[in-house]
Structure 1
Amino acid sequence: MDQLDVKLLQLLQEDGRITISELSKRLALSRPSISERIAKLQESGVIEGFGARISPAKLGKDTLMIIRITGLQVTPQKFESFIQEQEEIIECHRVTGEVSYFMKAAVSGIGAMGLLIDRLIPYGIPNTSIIISSPVPFRHMLPEEG
């Protein structure tokens, strides 16, 4: 990966809808070169996909929370299968240590939060924290220099 790829990644993360023509202008490369670089970054797995970041609050899910699961009562495979069906769970990470899973959930309020927790109880011990603010809700990533 060269400096042009790094700059390309930066521009794509700043605006995923930027056109190939605009990228061509900003990087002083031909449109086919830009398209080829993007394709190579996708093929190598550096770019995993493109999508829109959606505001949960604007969809009526204004309560965000972190859920930690300890004391898992089922196999990880059974728990992960269950979690994949829970639309309120927007992130789930299996981790090392005392906690088995960290999850981020978006719900419509305290009532919906209670229902989600009730569904989790048979699988382990849920411990929840409501997110008050997110000073770093999303961070762009670039390769380290050197």
Structure 2
Amino acid sequence: MDRIDVKMLGLLQQDARMTISELSKQLTLSRPSVTERLHRLQEKGIIEGFTAVVSPAAVGRSILLMIQISDLKVSAGEWEKMIALEQDVIECHRVTGEIGYIIKAAVDGMEGLRQLVDRLMVYSYVNTSVVLTSPVQRRHVLPVDVED
């Protein structure tokens, strides 16, 4: 990757709907060159996909949670199959340390929180934290080392 690729990644993370023409203008490259670079970044798995960012609160999920899971009562495989089906879960990460998993979830009010905790307690010890604010959200991810 070179500096142009890095700039392209930054632009696309700001607005994934940016057209090839607009990218071409921003990068001062021809449209075919931009298209080629974009395809290369996708083929290498650097760009995994393009998506819309949806506000959980705007779609009725007013409470954002971080949940720590420990002391599984089932195998990790069984847990991961179950959690993949849990619609309130936005992200789930297996981690090192005293806890086994960290979950980001969004629920509709306190009743939704209670129901999610009840469903998870069957499988593990559950420690929930309600998100009050998020001073850093969806930070752009750019490479550490860049070629000139």
Under TM normalisation by the shorter chain, which class is it? over 0.9
CA distance in structure 1 between the partners assigned to 2:34 and 2:114 by the alignment: 49
Alignment-derived partner of residue 139 in structure 2: 139
1:71-110 aligned at under 5 Å gives the runs 71-110=71-110
In structure 2, give the amino acid aligned to 1:9.
Answer: L
Alignment-derived partner of residue 24 in structure 1: 24
Count of residues paired in the alignment: 146
Which protein has greater RCO, CA pairs closer than 8 Å, 6+ apart? 2
In structure 2, give the amino acid aligned to 1:14.
Answer: Q
1:110-129 aligned at under 5 Å gives the runs 110-129=110-129
Q: Give 1:137 deviation, angstroms.
A: 1.6
In structure 1, give the amino acid aligned to 2:50.
Answer: F
Alignment-derived partner of residue 65 in structure 1: 65
In structure 2, give the amino acid aligned to 1:116.
Answer: L
Provide structure 2 residue ranges, at least 5 long, that are not aligned to the other structure: none
Q: Provide the aligned C-alpha RMSD in A.
A: 0.8
Q: Which stretches of structure 1, 4 residues or more, deviate above 4 A after TM superposition?
A: none
TM norm structure 2? 0.96
In structure 1, give the amino acid aligned to 2:98.
Answer: E
* SS, match of residue 52 in structure 2: coil
TM norm structure 1? 0.97
Q: Give 1:144 deviation, angstroms.
A: 1.5
* SS, match of residue 79 in structure 2: helix
Q: Give 1:145 deviation, angstroms.
A: 3.7
What whole-Å deviation, never above 9, does each CA across 1:20-58 have from its counterpart, x for those lacking one?
001111111111111110110011011011001100000
